[in-house]
Structure 1
Amino acid sequence: MITIPERIILANLPTKIEKLERISAQLQGPSIYIKRDDQTGTELSGNKIRKLEYCIREAIDQGCDTLITCGGIQSNHCRATAAAAAKLGLKAIVVLRGHDPDTYEGNLLLDHLLGAEVRWISSEDYRDHRMDIMHTIADEVSAKGQQAYVIPEGASSGIGAFGYFSALQEIVQQEQELGISFDAVIVAVGSGGTHGGLLLAQQLLPTSHRIIGINVCDDEDYFIKAITTVIEESAHYLDQSVTIPTEAIEIIDGYVGKGYAQSQPQELQCIKDLASLEGVILDPVYTGKAFYGLVEEIRKGTFQDLQNILFIHTGGLYGLFPHSASFEF
């Protein structure tokens, strides 16, 4: 029996699993199922809240009253952190990449409605110094007699990864209930914590699922290192050693497109196709790119030996609206 850290309960779990009947038939490949982690809540929707349940439990256990985290201007993670802080009576400070716009929309609007303090830094400072900047803010908080807990980008940390360790346990239970066995679990990779948690569980439970990530930024080498680091951090919380061979980290590279949070017409068309075929809405930053990659790989025959694939819908609906002008109707 593996003992993992305790969590605070915030998400609506378990999230349901649905078969994408029409798109599976259209592609004539493996049966595609989708796990609706976009339905973990409303303000708390998406995959980030699973990870935050563990991070915030640790923060509260340490006596912290302020959460500090970072992300892009439409960060789902920052919005979820702001919502969780408001629900629990904590303060949230979010460090965003870019500059204060003239109008607030999507997740940024929600950050402000939820009472988060928003700090802006340049893209260069975000890339090179975001952790240092957050720790400096934590020192400011301490100087005022309060105590801050710093959550890295996407809650992709050793403790945060247990959100998707427990998610794979949930999937295994649902397989038994539904009488389905998934050959592969596929997820968008933007910071590595979700993939890292799934892979940690796959190695330790053990299960036979292939855990496959489709990166939406950076490249395969970057995420192999990032995921390895997350799993090494997670090992400190376990009562056993963990060694994940590099070859176990499966990343399908090549679907970053124009870059992080930048969309190509074919990605947007994939979002429209899935919405009209299945009534499922993806976002253009994470799930839209990853699902487009999944569709293209099925068309290439990459997964011809698999019967059932589970795609995790990690959320992002609010981040869709600022991209409305990119769609053609």
Structure 2
Amino acid sequence: MGEVAKSVAKVEEGFLGLMRPYKPPSWALHLNPIPSHVFSLAHVPTPIHKWNVPGTPANTEVYIKREDLCGVQLSGNKARKLEFLLADAVSHGSDCVITMGGMQSNHCRATAVAARYLNLDCFLILCMYESQTERDPGLAGNLLIERLVGAHVEVVSWEAFAKYGSSGLLNSLKKQLEKNGRRPYIIPVGGSNSLGTWGYIEAVREIEQQLQQPEFDEMTFDSIVAPCGSSGTVVGLSLGSWLSTLKAEAKGLGYASSSTEELVFIKEVAEATGVILDPVYSGKAAYGFVKDMRENPKKWEGKRVLFIHTGGIFALYDKATKVMSNMVGRWKRMDINESIPLKDASECW
């Protein structure tokens, strides 16, 4: 049996899904290369619903596409990229994957989970401050999920990342694994390459199909607002032209660093709408988007906007005990009136 056949057989042992031939939308046929196969990993289509986010100007309608609901451990937009990247890994006969990111990388967590679905080993290179590299990285947020599913975690300093770059570090680990007889497949930081981009092409096709359903009555959006880039930059996209329509930046203090104002905003949105944003991408993007609506209401009045929630809730756990404990009060010991009758012996727990 060839290596590719062995990899496919190993995947079939660990996953009930299907690697199927890929057929792109007609408007993407001019792109090259077109993927040959794709896995079905995410729970799609992810829903679109109205979002009464605080700060919306009069006569402005905001909707939200819930990419955070494409799975539990796999949640977020990265799952769409991985459907194509892991299909390519299996087709090349790989028995493990390597990728890289920050300590609370949503991409690394999604890769570890998706690889386990497919019975592939996963090796993660996670960046942290030099002073922390000699001790256990802990179990906060995404790290807990990664380590629960058995990912191999390799920690490096941000200084090493700056010196060697992601390509140098990923290829170095690849060579080490190959010396041990492994067949690794490198997934770039964030899954960001031409193959991974097809995941977003599928997301656009999905939105088009959803808007044709009776409940949307062929609705159109004036703008689509989505988090992108490692600094949480807010970008507004027009469905038809893909031109940027919103020039607001929300990177704040930088990647994975949250200001008090951003965290307070996340708390306000959760309390007002039940939608929980993440502190690295969707929270920063929504904060910048709403800030712009509040400061420039005339620009948004009468508009219909779709916000893409790209997931990442697990990174919020890393912030919880450090900076959010004083934001989420509303607890006290219950006052029990002594006149309450005692529990009946026949009652369950």
Q: For the superposition of Structure 1 and Structure 2, which TM-score range results when normalised by the shorter chain?
A: 0.7 to 0.9
Matched, 1:308 2:304: yes
Please state which structure has a larger fraction of its residues in helix: 1
Which is further off, 125-134 or 65-74?
125-134
Confirm whether residue 163 of structure 1 aligns to residue 199 of structure 2: yes
Contact 2:53 2:62 in 1 (8 A): no
* Gap change, CA 1:182 and 1:250, over 3 Å in 2: closer
Q: C-alpha separation between the residues in 2 aligned to 1:70 and 1:59?
A: 16
Tell me, in whole angstroms, the C-alpha distance in 2 between the residues paired with 1:141 and 1:250: 45
User: Is the CA contact 2:68–2:76 (under 8 Å) kept in the aligned structure 1?
Assistant: yes
Give the Cα–Cα distance (whole angstroms) in 2 for the partners of residues 326 and 83 of structure 1: 28
1:240 aligns with none
8 Å CA contact 1:183, 1:306 repeated in 2: no
* CA displacement at 1:318 relative to structure 2: 0.7
What are the within-5 Å matches in structure 2 for residues 67-146 of structure 1?
A: 67-98=97-128, 99=133, 100-101=135-136, 103-128=138-163, 129-146=165-182
- Determine if contact 2:248/2:292 at 8 Å carries over to the other structure: no
Residues 140, 170 of structure 1: alpha-carbon distance in 2 compared, 3 angstrom cutoff: same
Larger Rg: 2
Q: CA deviation at 1:107?
A: 0.5
Residues 20/111 of structure 1: CA separation in 2 closer, same or farther (3 Å cut): same
Q: Give the structure 1 partner of residue 188 of structure 2.
A: 152
Question: RMSD across aligned C-alpha pairs, in angstroms?
Answer: 2.5
Letter in 2 for 1:96: L
CA shift, 1:305, in A, is 6.3
Structure-2-length-normalised TM-score:
0.75
Cα distance between partner residues in 2 of 1:297 and 1:273: 17
Is contact 1:185-1:209 (8 Å) kept? no
Structure 2 gaps, min length 5: 1-25, 329-349
Per-residue deviation, 1:250: 5.7
1:268 deviates by 1.2
Give the letter for the 1:182 counterpart: F
Percent of aligned pairs with the same residue?
Answer: 38
CA drift of 1:144 comes to: 2.2
| Residues 17-69 of structure 1, C-alpha deviations (whole Å, 9 max, x = no match) | 01013637x53252111100001101111111111111111111111111100
Question: Relative to structure 1, is the Cα distance of residues 191 and 156 closer, same or farther in structure 2, using a 3 angstrom cutoff?
Answer: farther
Which residue, 314, 322, 325 being the options, matches 1:318? 314
| Count of residue pairs brought into register by the alignment | 284
What is the identity, as a one-letter code, of the residue corresponding to 1:326?
Answer: V
Q: CA deviation at 1:258?
A: 1.7
Corresponding residue to 2:253 among 233, 238, 258: 258
Match of 2:63 in 1: 33
TM-score if structure 1 supplies the norm length? 0.80
Query: Are the structure 2 counterparts of residues 209 and 323 from structure 1 closer, same or farther at C-alpha, using a change threshold of 3 Å?
Result: farther
Say if 2:218 is the partner of 1:183.
Answer: no
Does residue 90 of structure 2 align to residue 46 of structure 1? no
CA contact (8 A) 2:270 2:276 kept: yes
- Secondary structure of the equivalent of 1:120? strand
Where does structure 1 lack aligned partners over 5 or more consecutive residues? 211-247
